[in-house]
Structure 1
Amino acid sequence: MKRTLRTAVVTAGALVAALGLPAGTAHADTTPRIDLRVLVVSDGGPSTDAIAAELAAAGTPYTLIDLTRPGRTVIDAGFLADTVDGRPRARFQAVVLPDDNPFPAGSAEMAALAAYERAYDIPQVDAYTYARPEAGLQYPLPGGYAGSLDGKEAQVTAAGRAGPFGYLDGAVPFEDNDPAVGESYAYLSKPAAGADFTPYVEAPIPGQSAKGTLVGEYRHDGRRELVVTFVYNRYQQQFRLLARGIVEWMTGGVHLGAARNYFSVHVDDVFAADDRWNSTLDCTPGDVDCADPNATPDPIRMTAADVDHAVAWQHDKDFTLDFAYNGAGSVDHRQDHDGADALADRLIARRGEFRWINHTYSHPFLGCVQDTTVVPWKCATDADGSTRWTSRAEISDEIATNRVWGHGAGLPLHDDELVTGEHSGTKVLPQQPEDNPNLALALDDNDIAWLGSDNSREPAQRRVGPATTVPRYPMNVFYNAGRAAEQVDEYNWIYTSRAQGGSGICEDNPQTTTCLPAPLDPATGYAAHIVPLETRIALGHVLSNDPKPHFIHQSNLAEDRIAYPVLDGVLDGYRALFAEDTPLLNPRMRDIGAELRRRAAWQAALRGGEVTAYRIGTAVTVDAPDGLAVTATLPAGTTLAGAAFGEAYAGAVSGWTPATGTPLAFTLPPSATVPAADDTDGPAPATGPAPRTRVPAGVTDPVGHSADG
């Protein structure tokens, strides 16, 4: 079949006839308006939900129709298209279906969708479908494959690299996190005879030298479909790698919202020391919950050699760490060592190699006054029963003194950033269910705009007085471990059952923690289990368009330097998967906070129906409230008011621009045409419903996602 390229210009008369619009709706300008919104039709399965989650995270508007919901909206010509000011309008720029035809035989809804897609050149994504001739493929059996791809590696084809998946280097590895659980299922086959089908992602067919298609484009009877023949959920790496390309294919690279890949790492307690885990006591002497009166704290502190190693590592990885520092750590060390502090001397000499964040002067707990006579601790109270709080003056002094110390040492600071010790001052459940009321006042005293918070406790950004929180992901590389054996011992204590000698914490909290089947080997457990797991969790955040920083502690850069294998796994793993035009972004805390705040405002505007966007030919119009930061992804060469728009990323340009009270008018480059299917053969007869597809339990219940152990 002949393949053609054309812009989305269809005669008004043809549209009127195809869609059953009233006579007289033709407009002098025959170019239709295409609203920048995606229609997602879900059957409740994980694959359509994954695509919807990708759109939501990027800030790309979509309408969801749940086929399992009684009383749902019926899809017909009037729902899909109408006219605005006499111009034909397509209300959706793309359609996502659970498979190539999720409707009953003879469905009027499928017929309406097919007519709509044909009339307006609207692409359709088959989120997970059976390989069959109706989808442009041969049946998988015999000759192909139907089964698991756990641990296998697919590849982006040359056409995929030249098309929607050009941001990838080529490899698409499939996860295999638990050999006892099926985590994938796929149908591998070749294009059907005579089909206009272009494979974009392929995998070897087991037992053969040939490859079968996992993702490809099928052009037929005036329509285009992206056919996906493997199942996935929103967390799996194979989907996360391909999600951007699926969205770019369905939108033609023209859509609201943007997605990038981020990784920032905060190292807490720099200049200070962290108390070591005691493998005999199963606690950390010096901590409030380690009540043995004879226990002596054993400090872990970086050395000058550790600083040199960190600098060399950063240069090798082209990556910058954020050091959250406590000036009192150096002052105290000098007092105890006749004025000497080799670590501080080296850090200050090489201060320009790192970014720096105020972490308070002496790292005290800044919430309620802690009553440590009980385990766990509780908030101390006055005689009238009211909570005793750390005072405004104490909090302010900790912030200001550390700032003065940092400036005296020449640290390149941004004075509006702060991370309190243990994120204290903000609420800590269950003991302290509210913020210290003095915290907001002290933040105001010191002009703090960005306050670090613990994402495991508070994943949503919020205001604390004048400051906005920046949720940080805790990495499961423990603050009280400088050696791999210590990390494994504490890990076994937390993540094994009481019957196996552990604390039973994992048994008591099954919703958030998964117990290990057996304790890890102290000699091999860190490299064999903890490093791969923590790498996968962190890389999952990176691939999810999530800019939130991760945090570790200075102890993890000392002694065995146990943080580096995890960080290497994330950075090296990323660079092995992505092309050079899709770099890993490494923003500092205040920039992350601003990004999260813009996103929150944008999402609120979308939910409130305050944003309207559409495309007419090469003109894109976005109408949004005055002052709202608008985000979009558009082809390279797009202009706004005559100036180049956005920054280059993953083969497109994207960014934020403020609405000004009048609609924003973007001009796409002349090359931004819409590829259309060859319709010389006329419409094909209606096809029957797609066969049911297999969804293993490990896909609907993502293995290891919710567990940090």
Structure 2
Amino acid sequence: MKRTIRTAVLTVGTLIAAFGLPAGAAHADDPAPRTDLRVLVVSDGGPSTAAIAAELDSAGTPYTTVDLTRGGRPTIDAAFLADTVDGRPRAKYQAVVMPNDNPFPAGSAEMAALSAYERTYGIPQVDAYTYSRPQVGLQYFASGGYAGSLDGVRAGVTAAGLGGPFAYLDGAVPFEDNSPTVGESYAYLAQPAPGADFTTYVDAPIPGTQRRGSLVGEYRHDGRRELVVTFVYNQYQQQFRLLARGIVEWMTGGVHLGASRNYFAVHVDDVFAADDRWDSVLNCTPGDVDCANGAGTPSPIRMTGADATYAAQWQTAHRFTLDMVYNGAGSLDQREDNNGADELADTLIAQRDRFRWVNHTYTHAYLGCEQDVTAVPWKCATLPGGATKWVGRTAISDEIALNRVWGQSSGLPLQNDELVTGEHSGMKLLPQQPQDNPNLALALADNGVKWLASDNSRDPDQRPVGPAATVARYPINVFYNAGKAVEQADEYNWIYTRRSQGGSGICEDHADTTTCLPAPLDTATGYAQYIAPQEIRTALGHVLSNDPKPHFIHQSNLAEERIAYPVLDGVLDGYDALFADNTPVENLRMKDIGAELQRRAAWKDAVRNGQVTAYRIGDTVTVQAPNGLAVPATLLAGSRQGTAAFGSPYAGRVSGWTASAGTPIAFTLPASAAVTGARNGAATFARPAPQTAPAPRTEVPAAVREGGSRAPRG
């Protein structure tokens, strides 16, 4: 419902001159104002405005940044904020994000211009992190409130928040507490000031009292609306990730370019094959290239028929589909060694339509350079003269084609344009192989492959490989050579402890990307108490970041002790506990993820190059974009494009992609959509409010400035 605010007014002529709008008499038939679909982010270099900007960037929502710490920045004045286009008043920004409620010096003309702009056009302002005080509709925290850490505190969305901008949440907003020795949050908790028009959306208990204090709330005053946030955060912290969508929806009124959803996909590599097992005595994997001179005796890990049945049942219980990334030769080997029997293959093939399937090459051969494994680490074999000896085009093509034929003959529902090579081989791998195998692109073309998996830890950006585009996958740090928790913990200790503690020292040698454990984990409890919670937190962070990239594990992790399931359960059950039913996890297959990444990149390039114009006039949104570009938008439920319903529902809105033909695209908002801003060409201005003092300095823990506490990562 639109809020009516009674205000005193100045004469139209005086106010037009004061704000710099074109002079002219106000008439009832003057055109309604135009509001461009772009956000203004005013930054002081702090983490909170950077987090909101990152959220806008991830969704593809256009924004302009003014960095107050940089010389030569533009001055925020009437001309910067508004003008006239084709005789119609134009608000250049649909929302304003500020580092706090007033980051300018006392008596600032820029703050006065922003305040007047917001009143004139009904533009909302987000105070990204500010002090609780009467100027933002709250009592001082010293008056029965609190200032300090909220590490581990369980905040919550109020009834007003659940009925408003945070309706996609179930109610709980837990604050992270990843390290007992690192401060990860700071907040000011206070109740609304007496007489203030303030609505709390998210609150937390005030320590030592029975009261709750506001963390996020809306303050209406002087013809303006502010979203007042009184806790600090960075873009990676879970508490921000949970609330980021609601902050954007509040400030845009649920109408903006770009789209954001929560994604999770899990690829299970090496299905039908067996994975070699970690040897805790040799500290390597017999049968693999990390054991020098073929040391040790291989001890393969392979799923059973019972493991396959469990996987199907698990999927049903979690309403989730796994991607089975398979090697057909593994089943052939099993049948040859067991008088034609392969219970695993028979069970999976009988339930093949319950899973998605991806070609992983027939034998899982290494498809880059030919490997010289006479030493550890291995190196590329060379030809006389020193040139790299590459696996040939025919060998690569055969690996792809044989596995496809095996899958088709087994009735697997394949998408033949998807491929995951064994160990992501064929693509560049530092330090041994600094370039792609030149024969890989040719073999991909031979087999019609359009989507090629890569390892996000070493090749994160989508790029072309011949006719294919890469789809980077996140490795879940549950190792391929572990079927039991004790094996996983032992290998984890070897990788992430110092030489002085009996480890490999890898974490010391790569301190820029890897953090050492303070002490080795107890191998009996380390997986359940440390590794699994860390992997849950990392994967859930990806899910909450509008990141569609898939994660990958191995079939060995679904065998024996089935150690992957605690991580997968933790992600999905944790998600369900936080989000409402209208915001489900999007579980896409590989080619759809690739297409999503591809069109996002094209969209961001077009926005960055100034090729997109979008604005709202009343209940109509108009977008002008280059021919062939897919345009993402998030609109109110019931919005239409022409006579057809737009988009698909998600988180209480509708969102989707529309192909541009190079002509204006028009969307019509539902009749219930509130129209904000001045209705006449000569805007009516509220009497300017007295200038308040700049916001006091707020506390920012080092962990927030530096991106939060970090656990060991490979």
* Amino acid in the other structure paired with 1:20: G
SS in 2 for 1:404: helix
* Amino acid in the other structure paired with 2:275: D
Cα displacement (A) at 1:340: 1.1
1:196 alignment counterpart: 197
Matched, 1:615 2:620: no
Q: Alpha-carbon deviations, 1:654-679, whole Å to 9, x = none?
A: 000100121001111111115689x9
Cα displacement (A) at 1:23: 1.4
Cα displacement (A) at 1:70: 1.1
Alignment of 1:157-172 (within 5 A): 157-172=158-173
Two-structure CA RMSD over aligned residues (Å): 1.8
1:697 alignment counterpart: 702
Structure 1 150/289 Cα, relative in aligned 2: closer, same or farther at 3 Å?
Answer: same
The answer to whether the Cα contact below 8 Å between 1:222 and 1:676 also exists between their aligned partners in 2 is no
| Structure 2: stretches of 5+ with no match in the other structure | 679-683
The answer to whether the Cα contact below 8 Å between 2:618 and 2:675 also exists between their aligned partners in 1 is no
1:113 alignment counterpart: 114
1:380 alignment counterpart: 381
Cα displacement (A) at 1:26: 6.7
1:544 alignment counterpart: 545
1:686 alignment counterpart: 691
Cα displacement (A) at 1:616: 0.5
Q: Alpha-carbon deviations, 1:123-181, whole Å to 9, x = none?
A: 00000000000011000013000000000011100110111000000000000000100
Alignment of 1:481-560 (within 5 A): 481-560=482-561
* Amino acid in the other structure paired with 2:264: F
Cα displacement (A) at 1:12: 9.1
2:153 alignment counterpart: 152
2:681 alignment counterpart: none
Matched, 1:248 2:258: no
Identity of aligned residues (%): 73
* Amino acid in the other structure paired with 2:643: G
Cα displacement (A) at 1:707: 4.3
1:82 alignment counterpart: 83
SS in 2 for 1:486: helix
1:646 alignment counterpart: 647
Q: Alpha-carbon deviations, 1:484-540, whole Å to 9, x = none?
A: 000000000011111111111111112211111111111111010011100000000
SS in 1 for 2:602: helix
Alignment of 1:277-288 (within 5 A): 277-288=278-289
Task: Out of 250-259 and 282-291, give the one that drifted further.
Answer: 282-291
Q: Alpha-carbon deviations, 1:517-572, whole Å to 9, x = none?
A: 11111111101001110000000000000000000000000000000000000000
Task: Out of 40-49 and 18-27, give the one that drifted further.
Answer: 18-27
Cα displacement (A) at 1:353: 1.2
The answer to whether the Cα contact below 8 Å between 2:293 and 2:375 also exists between their aligned partners in 1 is no
Q: Alpha-carbon deviations, 1:415-444, whole Å to 9, x = none?
A: 110000000001001111110000000000
The answer to whether the Cα contact below 8 Å between 1:223 and 1:676 also exists between their aligned partners in 2 is no
* Amino acid in the other structure paired with 1:583: P
2:659 alignment counterpart: 658
| Structure 1: stretches of 5+ with no match in the other structure | none
Cα displacement (A) at 1:290: 0.9
What TM-score, normalized by structure 2, do the two folds share? 0.96
Cα displacement (A) at 1:706: 7.6
* Amino acid in the other structure paired with 2:701: P
SS in 2 for 1:356: strand
Cα displacement (A) at 1:386: 1.1
* Amino acid in the other structure paired with 1:132: R
Task: Out of 681-690 and 459-468, give the one that drifted further.
Answer: 681-690
CA distance in 2, matches of 1:566, 1:676: 48
CA distance in 1, matches of 2:343, 2:557: 18
* Amino acid in the other structure paired with 1:692: R
The answer to whether the Cα contact below 8 Å between 1:176 and 1:183 also exists between their aligned partners in 2 is yes
1:35 alignment counterpart: 36
CA distance in 2, matches of 1:100, 1:224: 11
The answer to whether the Cα contact below 8 Å between 1:221 and 1:680 also exists between their aligned partners in 2 is no
CA distance in 2, matches of 1:141, 1:675: 36
The answer to whether the Cα contact below 8 Å between 2:121 and 2:676 also exists between their aligned partners in 1 is no
The answer to whether the Cα contact below 8 Å between 2:162 and 2:171 also exists between their aligned partners in 1 is yes
CA distance in 2, matches of 1:473, 1:425: 18
What TM-score, normalized by structure 1, do the two folds share? 0.97
CA distance in 2, matches of 1:25, 1:75: 26
CA distance in 2, matches of 1:294, 1:286: 8
Cα displacement (A) at 1:24: 3.6
Structure 1 34/380 Cα, relative in aligned 2: closer, same or farther at 3 Å?
Answer: same
2:355 alignment counterpart: 354
* Amino acid in the other structure paired with 1:507: E
Q: Alpha-carbon deviations, 1:349-388, whole Å to 9, x = none?
A: 1111110000000001000111112221111111121111
CA distance in 2, matches of 1:344, 1:581: 37
1:566 alignment counterpart: 567
2:321 alignment counterpart: 320
* Amino acid in the other structure paired with 1:608: N
Cα displacement (A) at 1:16: 3.3
The answer to whether the Cα contact below 8 Å between 2:286 and 2:295 also exists between their aligned partners in 1 is no
Cα displacement (A) at 1:30: 3.1
CA distance in 1, matches of 2:11, 2:531: 60
CA distance in 2, matches of 1:551, 1:70: 46
1:598 alignment counterpart: 599
1:136 alignment counterpart: 137
The answer to whether the Cα contact below 8 Å between 1:537 and 1:705 also exists between their aligned partners in 2 is no
1:21 alignment counterpart: 21
CA distance in 1, matches of 2:342, 2:615: 62
1:4 alignment counterpart: 4
The answer to whether the Cα contact below 8 Å between 1:279 and 1:489 also exists between their aligned partners in 2 is yes
The answer to whether the Cα contact below 8 Å between 2:5 and 2:223 also exists between their aligned partners in 1 is no
Q: Alpha-carbon deviations, 1:22-65, whole Å to 9, x = none?
A: 31497853311000000001101000000000000000000011
Cα displacement (A) at 1:708: 2.1
Task: Out of 284-293 and 242-251, give the one that drifted further.
Answer: 284-293
The answer to whether the Cα contact below 8 Å between 1:15 and 1:88 also exists between their aligned partners in 2 is no
Task: Out of 545-554 and 337-346, give the one that drifted further.
Answer: 337-346
2:312 alignment counterpart: 311
Matched, 1:442 2:450: no
The answer to whether the Cα contact below 8 Å between 2:703 and 2:709 also exists between their aligned partners in 1 is no
1:342 alignment counterpart: 343
